[in-house]
Amino acid sequence: MSAQIISGKDLSATIRAELGARAAELAAEHGVTPGLATVLVGENPASQMYVGMKNKAAEAAGLSSRQITVPEATSQEELLGVVAGLNADPAVHGILVQLPLPGHIDEGTIIEAISPSKDVDGLHPVNAGRLATGSGKFFAPCTPAGVVEMLMRSGHDPEGKHVVVAGRSNLVGQPLANLLLRKAPGGNATVTVCHSRTRDLAAVTRTAEILVVAIGRPEMITADMVRPGAVVIDVGTHRVDDPGSEKGYRVCGDVLFDEVKEVASAISPSPGGVGPMTITMLLANTVTSAARAAGVG
């Protein structure tokens, strides 16, 4: 019997409707319209597409959206000036500097220049530290937060379960492990982190009641690596050559979906799974930031 499909696209539609209602409430009752500012350096086509998707989603949810595009030759000091201006703007509650940046600009320096209270990407060391220690208010990175939201809203609360996270990146694997370990809703799991260099990776992934894969290799996780009845969340997105398709390529995840769906009890697809949730959690963080600015968050 095939697995339950956990659709990030469908869940995102529900959550964005909720965010729209919350944004309208903040505007009507507190005079605060959640504002997201995106900063794009250069004309990278993929970055332009991602920024456009984020702005469109923000506007559809009732947020104000501002895009600042600067030339690729912009200096680091000039970009820091742009960030400083957004930090000081009370109409801006979330700041996202689209990565990657040109080679002459240090990404870490730019991320650290964003006010932690407006770092809706959840990448600032202050937010990362608060997540790791479980202290104070913080913003979680959007992809890990989206994974937890998918699990909770699809009826697969990780509390008390063994969750294996395949992937150890600062963007997904490590913050996800910290979210799952927290003494909070969506947490209280027993967590194992593994990666592409783990000895006998399949032996580890087969122990998971919930398996989250963010290992960065197309269709690496096959049916024999999954415990029967496990819940599988596929974070990966890849474009691979496919001469038999009209476009000459297809999009897939880190999981061999057609095989694994016959073993798992529930699975997220790629595309249509974690991707939409990542943008949704960016909007959620921005609304939360606006609520905090209004003194009600």
Give me the active site residues, please: 54, 98, 121
CA distances from 32 to 67, 279, 292 (A): 19, 21, 10
> In angstroms, rounded to a whole number, what is the distance separating the alpha carbons of residues 219 and 233?
13
Q: Is 136 helix (H, G, I), strand (E, B) or coil?
A: coil
Dist CA 11 CA 34 (whole Å):
21
Q: Is 192 exposed, middle or buried (0-12, 13-18, 19+ CB in 10 A)?
A: middle
Distance of CA 85 to the CA centre of its chain: 26
**Helix orientation angle between 274-293 and 142-153, rounded to the nearest 10 degrees:** 100
Tell me the C-alpha distance between 169 and 251, whole Å. 22
* Collapsed DSSP state (helix, strand, coil) of residue 189: coil
Alpha carbons within 13 A on the beta-carbon side of 126? 13
Residue the block writes with tokens 């890990």? 144
Coil, helix or strand for 10?
helix
Burial class (CB in 10 A: 0-12, 13-18, 19+), 120: buried
Instruction: Say if residues 192 and 162 touch (Cβ distance below 8 Å).
Output: yes
